[in-house]
Structure 1
């Protein structure tokens, strides 16, 4: 699969405790992206963060089980990302996450041949 040089970065901010149909939301999003053949997805776990509620989520030793922030990044063509957004909307229903889009320039994707 080749990515166009001009692509889109979909960034999804959620909490570790967010769920979709009993599955961790971040896993559901990654599996759906894979099912729809998006170029790739990465989940990043944040040691500290806050969102709309301004409630601080941290990985400090006394608060290890807190709802830590997660960021899911998916880069693909604008058309592919736009096709994924309705699916994401269904999965995000009930979550207080944040979803952003930005144009990116792809320098390298996969192994150079």
Structure 2
């Protein structure tokens, strides 16, 4: 199997701030990363300790959102320079990974 090294990035947000839509556009239009997936959580809490959760009767509009993407380590390094000015400290996690490639 052919593979290559990439850097994975996970960004933790909350839905209520509508920041994820801005970031999706940024990652797609300006940064042109390989792809982004948005995950909507059913429950979560952060540094504040405030629980954000949903139930069948009350669909909260302030649920956790995770944006995740990967690209070459060089590309991700450049993207993170822009994201660090937009995202609060402690909300971006990145790690090295291997992706299968057709090369």
Regarding TM over 0.5, the answer is yes
Correspondence 1:15-34 to 2 at 5 A: 15-18=14-17, 24-34=18-28
* Superposition RMSD in Å: 2.0
Alignment correspondent of 2:5 = 6
Write the deviation string for residues 74-100 of structure 1: whole angstroms up to 9, x where unpaired: 1001111110112212322xx576110
Per residue, is there more strand in 1 or in 2? 2
Correspondence 1:1-113 to 2 at 5 A: 5-18=4-17, 24-34=18-28, 35-92=30-87, 95=88, 98-107=91-100
TM-score (norm 1): 0.77
Aligned mates of 2:11, 2:52 — CA distance in 1: 17
Aligned mates of 1:76, 1:103 — CA distance in 2: 10
What stretches of structure 1 of length at least 5 have no aligned partner?
A: 19-23
Write the deviation string for residues 46-95 of structure 1: whole angstroms up to 9, x where unpaired: 01111111211111135423510000001001111110112212322xx5
TM-score (norm 2): 0.84
Higher RCO structure (Cα 8 Å, ≥6 apart): 2
